């Protein structure tokens, strides 16, 4: 394919028909639909926002309704019985205001109104669950084929009001009853597919719909949403000239759901092709205020996010009154699986940032929250880059002292994290990560673990952090030298700088900033 083969970029288009009829780029996912049909009939999929969940559901809708022309040239076209058409009942919670106790019920009733108007059905039930059940039964009777039930953003009515627990619990309980109706109507249902960002525990939300197969981290379906490396090199080949392929990979690739291939967020890639500039497109579409406040209130610093361990239970432990940190970060797309670690009868997952976009942007948000001044933080980050470019270590010490001094006293007194060495190290890490530097934390060697290594401008910077109340003066630099951390980097044949940084809990600032060549 060449430049002449360029098509329309489907930015923000979630309608399969529009993509096909307007000659947009389309990554064929229909072979996976065929596999779903072969293996079962009731599915659940969790993916972060803007990963193509709604488009996938709309593709299912058009397929089951038998709109054959839209599938010309796709895998499924020659593997589907186009003589059969199924009634499709789709609920979509992607929009709507769910902040009032009765608003969710009204929204569902409005959507069921539209179904009845379109199909000519009529019911007189006052509750959404009873009406939903009746419509499923009547659609089956009317069409002579069992019903396909699709639910998009099934969890949004809860996620939107997590800061209002009473409303969130009421919405959760309402949805539990509504979704239980699908299983109660199993004799009338051909196929079910629910999508959302989070995976609520079965007890809290799916106790009445326990026949769902969760394919969220099922390796064969790891690329059911998102673009693979092969997709970029084939489908989007006309858009690649002029862009650094390695830079695309570094900025946007890296999301993993245990498959052989990692994937890209489609929103990032499409906007990159349009604007020809590497920016945090996905991150900027949603301000993770709730996430940032949760991390800081739990005393979780940036360093911990770079190598977090979670189990099967933790990755699904999500409910209104109990949101495991690992589950929150993984399900919202701020961390991804980088390694599976079987231990005995349990499976654990090593989590980390998926790519530079998330690492850089999330740490910038953490710093903004600490200082309360995004403008000041941006100025500090730009200054950090300039100082490191010329190895002005005295300037670096002054910069970080100024930053720690700018953190409001109240933040320290309200957060236990301020009492730990990891807090000070996390702030350093966040600053370097927010600028986009190449960073390795707790880098292991035969002698131990180095706190942080930074590679920039053909130099290597090795950091060790200590709290003076917990260690003797000069302990940070002493450890750098005694443990021989620099030995691991000598093969790079680059200048190596060892930097020992010491802090005081009493002054909440840097007390020593020692630099030595290695």
What are the CA-CA distances from residue 230 to residues 25, 223, 435 (Å)? 14, 11, 30
pLDDT per residue as tens digits for the range 224-246: 999 999 999 999 999 999 999 99
Range of lowest pLDDT (207-211, 249-253, 507-511): 207-211
Q: What is the pLDDT of residue 409?
A: 62
> Six-digit token pair at 255?
């999301």
What is the DSSP-derived secondary structure letter of residue 237?
G
Which long-range contacts does 383-386 make (Cβ < 8 Å, 24+ apart)? Answer: 384/431, 384/432, 384/435, 385/435
Work out the pLDDT band at 179, boundaries 50, 70, 90.
Answer: very high
pLDDT per residue as tens digits for the range 476-489: 999 999 999 999 89
What is the average pLDDT across 312-337? 86
The yes-or-no verdict on residue 418 having pLDDT over 80 is: no
What is the average pLDDT across 101-111? 93
> Six-digit token pair at 399?
């910069």
What is the DSSP-derived secondary structure letter of residue 255?
B
The yes-or-no verdict on residue 492 having pLDDT over 60 is: yes
Work out the pLDDT band at 107, boundaries 50, 70, 90.
Answer: very high
- Domain 372-517 fold is Trna Endonuclease; Chain: A, domain 1 (3.40.1350)
In the block, which residue shows the tokens 């084939």?
Answer: 234
pTM of the shown model: 0.90
Mean pLDDT of the chain: 90
The yes-or-no verdict on residue 28 having pLDDT over 90 is: yes
The yes-or-no verdict on residue 203 having pLDDT over 70 is: no
- For the chain, state the CA radius of gyration: 26
For residues 330 and 337, the answer to whether their CB atoms sit within 8 Å is yes
For residues 226 and 55, the answer to whether their CB atoms sit within 8 Å is no
For residues 256 and 221, the answer to whether their CB atoms sit within 8 Å is no
Work out the pLDDT band at 446, boundaries 50, 70, 90.
Answer: low
Cβ neighbours, 10 Å, residue 380: 20
Is 506 in a helix, a strand, or coil?
coil
The percent of residues above 70 in pLDDT, for the chain, comes to 94
Across the strands, what pairs with 463? 452, 499
Better-scored residue on pLDDT, 224 or 260:
224
Q: What is the pLDDT of residue 85?
A: 97
Cα gap 202→212, rounded to integer Å: 10
Q: What is the pLDDT of residue 344?
A: 87
Work out the pLDDT band at 130, boundaries 50, 70, 90.
Answer: very high
For residues 455 and 331, the answer to whether their CB atoms sit within 8 Å is no
Q: What is the pLDDT of residue 41?
A: 94
pLDDT per residue as tens digits for the range 329-374: 999 999 999 999 998 888 999 999 999 999 999 999 988 887 777 7
Range of lowest pLDDT (16-25, 118-127, 217-226): 118-127
> Six-digit token pair at 414?
């309200």
Work out the pLDDT band at 444, boundaries 50, 70, 90.
Answer: low
Range of lowest pLDDT (40-54, 160-174, 346-360, 442-456): 442-456
What is the average pLDDT across 2-27? 91
CATH number of 28-221: 3.40.50
Residue boundaries of the structural domains of the chain: 28-221, 372-517
The yes-or-no verdict on residue 447 having pLDDT over 80 is: no
> Six-digit token pair at 507?
């002054």
Work out the pLDDT band at 415, boundaries 50, 70, 90.
Answer: low
Q: Whose CA is closest to 48, among 212, 186, 251, 254?
A: 254
pLDDT per residue as tens digits for the range 428-440: 899 999 999 999 8
């Amino acid at each position: 394919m060449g430049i002449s083969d360029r098509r329309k970029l489907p930015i923000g288009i979630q309608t399969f028909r529009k993509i096909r009829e307007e000659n947009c780029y389309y990554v064929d996912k229909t072979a996976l639909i065929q596999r779903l049909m072969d293996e079962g009939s009731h599915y659940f999929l969790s993916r972060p926002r803007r990963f193509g969940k709604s488009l996938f559901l709309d593709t299912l809708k058009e397929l089951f309704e038998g709109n054959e022309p839209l599938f010309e040239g796709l895998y499924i076209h020659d593997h589907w019985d186009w003589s059969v058409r199924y009634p499709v009942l789709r609920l979509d919670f992607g929009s709507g205001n769910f902040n009032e106790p009765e608003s969710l019920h009204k929204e569902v009733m409005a959507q069921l109104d539209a179904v009845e108007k379109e199909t000519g059905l009529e019911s007189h039930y006052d509750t959404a669950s009873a009406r939903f059940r009746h419509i499923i039964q009547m659609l089956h009777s009317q069409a002579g084929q069992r019903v396909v039930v699709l639910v998009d953003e099934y969890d949004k009515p809860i996620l939107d009001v997590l800061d209002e627990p009473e409303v969130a619990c009421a919405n959760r309980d309402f949805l539990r009853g509504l979704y239980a109706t699908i299983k109660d109507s199993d004799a009338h249902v051909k196929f079910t597919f629910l999508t959302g960002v989070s995976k609520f525990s079965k007890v809290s939300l799916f106790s009445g719909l326990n026949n769902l197969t969760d394919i969220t981290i099922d390796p064969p379906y790891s690329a059911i949403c998102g673009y693979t490396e092969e997709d970029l090199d084939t489908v989007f080949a006309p858009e690649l000239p002029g862009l650094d392929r390695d830079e695309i990979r570094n900025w946007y690739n890296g999301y993993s759901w245990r498959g052989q291939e990692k994937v890209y967020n489609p929103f990032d890639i499409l906007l990159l092709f349009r604007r020809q500039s590497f920016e945090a497109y996905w991150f900027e579409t949603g301000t993770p205020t709730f996430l940032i406040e949760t991390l800081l209130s739990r005393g979780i610093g940036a360093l911990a996010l770079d190598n977090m361990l979670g189990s099967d239970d933790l990755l699904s432990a999500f409910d209104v009154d109990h949101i495991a940190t690992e589950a929150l970060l993984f399900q919202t797309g701020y961390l991804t699986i980088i390694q599976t670690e079987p231990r005995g009868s349990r499976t654990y997952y090593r989590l980390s940032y998926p790519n530079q976009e998330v690492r850089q942007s999330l740490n910038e948000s953490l710093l903004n929250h600490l200082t309360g001044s995004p403008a000041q933080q941006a100025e500090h980050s730009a200054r950090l880059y300039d100082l490191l470019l010329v190895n002005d270590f005295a300037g670096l010490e002054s910069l970080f002292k100024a930053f720690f001094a700018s953190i409001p006293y109240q933040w320290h007194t309200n957060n236990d994290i301020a009492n730990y060495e990891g807090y000070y190290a996390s702030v350093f890490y966040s600053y370097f990560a927010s600028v986009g530097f190449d960073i390795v934390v707790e880098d292991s060697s035969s002698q131990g673990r180095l706190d942080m290594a930074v590679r920039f401008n053909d130099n290597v910077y090795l950091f060790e952090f200590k709290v003076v109340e917990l260690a003797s003066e000069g302990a940070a630099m002493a450890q750098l030298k005694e443990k021989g951390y620099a030995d691991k980097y000598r093969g790079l044949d680059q200048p190596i700088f060892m930097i020992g940084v010491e802090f005081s809990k009493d002054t909440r600032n840097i007390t020593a900033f020692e630099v030595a060549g290695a």
